[in-house]
Amino acid sequence: MSKTGWQPGACAIAGIGTTDFTRNSGRSDLSLATQAVLAALEDAGLDASAIDGIIRCDMDLVRHNDLAEALGIRQLTYWGECGPGGVAPCAMVGQAVGAILSGQASTVVVFRALNGRSGRRYGAGSTAAGQQLAGGNGSYDEFFLPHGLLTAGQMFALMARRHMIEYSSTQEQLGSIAIACRDRALVNPAAQMYGRPLAMTDYLSARMISEPLRLFDFCLETDGAAAVVVTGTERARDCKNGAALIHAVAQASVPGTQPGVMFPVLMRDSITALSSRAVADVLWSRSRLGPADVDVAQLYDCFTITLLLQLEDYGFAKRGEGGAFAADGGIGLTGQLPCNTSGGHLSEAYIHGMNHVVEAVRQVRGTSTAQVPGAEVSLVTSAPPPASSALILTADR
């Protein structure tokens, strides 16, 4: 990345913060965002006056000026947004780095806030009550919604079935992913599923939502927010908890990426490989690292199958063997690739990929509730559809 002006570790995450994770916050999205950013500033030992940049997710209800006003920021010199949705978090961190390295900002807040349970529930699909017509305006929804394909979960169920067709993957393999994430949440008091163990019999006896995906193949719905403070590494080193070095970040699309927001990805050449296969190529190339170098990973897990597919896309498992990798303990705390150590979307909270960035920082600091001993290379992914981004953090030692 040196050719482009990027220097590994030139910028760092200096502060992390979250709200509590609940089903009914009783607070506005703006209050949640404010609370998470204040926590991240406190963690860094910085005042709101230090912030001159804000990056938001395109699906957030909180705009940059809302947050600036709420925090009493005197002047922003940069703002931006990424998306769509869960694709954003790692790319948002990348955009913050871009703003800092180009001199447009010095200290940038990256946040995601949502009342995902008490407010708009993404699992309910995008169709509005009383809606009669679907599609048009470049959405391509006219090819999908009228046929009853209404939600992301149903789309990922088609991907899971296809993976079973091509590679004989099993429901128990998907279950092992749900259970691994739950096991991490059992020791994370902040997790929504803290103290609620999940056994394979529980997984298999749970109700079917969209076959072959059952209840625990689906992530949580959460009211909450998460934020990080990105700044130059020298400044981050002066902060209270030091610097989590931003080693590399990548966004990438695949050829034949397809238009629209979500369902058109079913038209791609393969639905058992995601756009993360392209992100992996860019990320490994830029970072000069490979799958074997990663100590711990927070893989975007809107569904169990999403995590499974990324194990293959990033090269941790051979194509078709992601399920076996997980079922054999590969993603467990003592496995080859400890994953989603806070519990992830499946068992900690659904902050649309942002809680994964926060947990990745904890791992290089050594402060996770499910700490991987000596973790130095920490991967985060922000996942598809219809594109992906990813981030590698390294310990400052």
| Residues that are catalytic | 300, 350
- The CA–CA distances, whole Å, from 342 to 140, 325, 375 equal 36, 20, 15
For residue 266, state whether it binds other proteins (rule: CB under 8 A): yes
Q: Regarding beta strands 11-18 and 223-232, do their DSSP bridges make them parallel or antiparallel, or are they unpaired? A: antiparallel
Measured CA to CA, the distance from residue 174 to residue 191 in angstroms comes to 21
> Shortest gap between Cβ of 212 and other proteins (angstroms)?
7
Show Cβ contacts of residue 134 under 8 Å, excluding neighbours closer than 6 positions: 127, 141, 142, 144, 145, 146
Residue 138 or 373: the one with the smaller Cβ distance to other proteins is 138
> Shortest gap between Cβ of 13 and other proteins (angstroms)?
37
Residue 92 or 265: the one with the smaller Cβ distance to other proteins is 265
Considering only residues 127 to 156 of the shown chain, the ones binding other proteins according to CB under 8 A are 127, 131-138, 140, 142-151, 154
> Shortest gap between Cβ of 115 and other proteins (angstroms)?
20
Residue 16 or 213: the one with the smaller Cβ distance to other proteins is 213
- The encoded tokens of residue 130 equal 């009383």
- The encoded tokens of residue 17 equal 């913060």
For residue 75, state whether it binds other proteins (rule: CB under 8 A): no
**Among 10-18, 242-250, 265-273, 328-336, which window interacts with other proteins (CB under 8 A)?**
265-273
Measured CA to CA, the distance from residue 344 to residue 331 in angstroms comes to 12
- The CA–CA distances, whole Å, from 48 to 53, 209, 242, 246 equal 11, 44, 18, 22
HSE of 377 in the Cβ direction (CA atoms, 13 Å)? 15
Considering only residues 169 to 228 of the shown chain, the ones binding other proteins according to CB under 8 A are 207-213
> Shortest gap between Cβ of 137 and other proteins (angstroms)?
7
Cis peptide before 189 (omega within 30 of 0): no
Instruction: Beginning with the edge strand found earlier in the chain, give each strand of the sheet holding 223-232 in spatial order.
Output: 78-82, 53-57, 107-115, 223-232, 11-18, 244-252, 388-395, 377-382, 296-298
For residue 253, state whether it binds other proteins (rule: CB under 8 A): no
**Among 43-51, 259-267, 293-301, 327-335, which window interacts with other proteins (CB under 8 A)?**
259-267
Considering only residues 295 to 354 of the shown chain, the ones binding other proteins according to CB under 8 A are none
Among 9, 83, 119, 125, binds other proteins (CB under 8 A): 125
Residue 50, Ramachandran bin (φ over 0: left; ψ between -120 and 50: alpha; else beta): alpha
Size of the site for other proteins (CB under 8 A): 45
Among 42, 49, 69, 124, binds other proteins (CB under 8 A): 124
What one-character DSSP code corresponds to residue 62?
Answer: -
Residue 255 or 373: the one with the smaller Cβ distance to other proteins is 255
Q: Rule CB under 8 A: which residues touch other proteins?
A: 124-125, 127, 131-138, 140, 142-151, 154, 157-159, 161-162, 165, 207-213, 258-260, 263-264, 266-267, 269, 271
